[in-house]
Amino acid sequence: MSHLADAPAPATGQVMASTPPGPRGEPDHAADSSRLAHRSRAQTKVRWELLRNLVRKDLKVKYKGSTLGFAWSLANPMLLLVVYTFVFQIVLKAGIPRFGIYLMSGLLIWNAFSGSVSAACGSVVANANLVKKVRFPLAVLPLSAVGFAAVHFLLQLAVLFVVILVLGYHLLGPNLLLLVPAGAVAFVFTVALSLLVSALNVRYRDTAHLLDVALLAWFWVNPMVYAFSLIEDRLHEWTWVYLLNPMAVVVISFQRAIYAPPAGYSTGHKAVLPHDGYRFYLEHLAIAGATSLALLWIGLQVFRTMQADFAEDL
């Protein structure tokens, strides 16, 4: 685009501005047609800058006039941490040590996922005015919802790290590297589902309601408020069915990466985390990654097919 930067419309009038009215035309420079094609594509391609602007816009709209609101959205999970620790560890005696940290290490990524998907679901409908008036790459709408949630997630994760370090628990180590593949799988899966539901919701407006219910149920099939070992105890050799859910794999991987159980809780029948090593996680992440990629392909196909009718359905 840089070569276009010197061709703005206003008064400078770069092209033929001095030609008297009458027969017009433009000298046919060779680059002309490819220039037009390039500019044409620029209006339909997902560009990073556009995504960034949209995320910034969402943040601006959401936290308009309140920096406190933003700080609150970061502090919110930490408050949950305190409440849940109290309820589960002291009142219910759930038997998971450092329950707050355990919960948060899984819950943050889950919240990012469910927040992205439900925001993306309404994103096209909410921007009907743009969709019906401007030609732009529509996929930026659900993608910016993912970006918006990702920004919060990263900041909340940073806050969690600070809390862990302040409490003096173990955090820094090779375990953190597990966040990279787990985060990647979570990202692909979130994008895939976001594209899918955002497109479906334009035509089938009850998608949003169904999604809400589904997310509510889905929350409980991830080992966030209970230990994964509980599932292994019940399902035995059928545990793999439970792990078909990519989010469950992501959640246990995040826990493995962030949560360090005190000595005595890492192995044996009291183990909170399924495995001490990394192999188990990496293997399951690979499967979950494959599932996510397949879903991404479906999501893209559905979005590509349905987006042409968005303006009509809105």
Report yes or no: 190 and 117 within 8 Å, Cβ to Cβ: yes
Exactly one of 210, 215, 230, 302 binds other proteins (CB under 8 A); that residue is 210
Residue with Cβ nearer other proteins (206 or 237): 206
- Binding segment for other proteins (CB under 8 A), chosen from 41-49, 80-88, 109-117, 242-250, is 41-49
Which of the residues 134 through 153 are near other proteins (CB under 8 A)?
Answer: 134-139
Number of residues engaging other proteins in binding (CB under 8 A) = 76
- Binding segment for other proteins (CB under 8 A), chosen from 52-60, 91-99, 161-169, 247-255, is 52-60
Q: Does residue 66 interact with other proteins by CB under 8 A?
A: no
Q: Does residue 45 interact with other proteins by CB under 8 A?
A: yes
- Binding segment for other proteins (CB under 8 A), chosen from 30-38, 102-110, 161-169, 251-259, is 30-38
Phi/psi class of residue 271: alpha, beta or left (left: φ > 0; alpha: ψ in -120 to 50)? beta
Question: Rg of the Cα trace of the chain?
Answer: 24
Least Å distance, CB 195 to other proteins, is 10
Q: Does residue 50 interact with other proteins by CB under 8 A?
A: yes
Exactly one of 3, 26, 93, 277 binds other proteins (CB under 8 A); that residue is 26
Identity of the residue numbered 307: Q
d(CA 239, CA 230): 10
Q: Residue 161 burial by CB count (10 A; 0-12/13-18/19+): exposed, middle or buried? A: middle
Q: Which helix (H) or strand (E) holds 294?
A: helix 279-307
Name the token pair of 231: 């599932």
Residue with Cβ nearer other proteins (252 or 306): 306
Exactly one of 123, 194, 198, 207 binds other proteins (CB under 8 A); that residue is 207
Identity of the residue numbered 258: I
- Binding segment for other proteins (CB under 8 A), chosen from 153-161, 206-214, 242-250, 274-282, is 206-214
Q: Does residue 312 interact with other proteins by CB under 8 A?
A: yes
Q: Does residue 290 interact with other proteins by CB under 8 A?
A: no
Residue with Cβ nearer other proteins (67 or 129): 129
Exactly one of 3, 41, 158, 258 binds other proteins (CB under 8 A); that residue is 41
Exactly one of 8, 69, 262, 264 binds other proteins (CB under 8 A); that residue is 8
Q: Does residue 212 interact with other proteins by CB under 8 A?
A: no
- Binding segment for other proteins (CB under 8 A), chosen from 56-64, 71-79, 152-160, 249-257, is 56-64
Q: Does residue 71 interact with other proteins by CB under 8 A?
A: no
Exactly one of 205, 235, 241, 286 binds other proteins (CB under 8 A); that residue is 205
Q: Does residue 5 interact with other proteins by CB under 8 A?
A: yes
Q: Does residue 292 interact with other proteins by CB under 8 A?
A: no
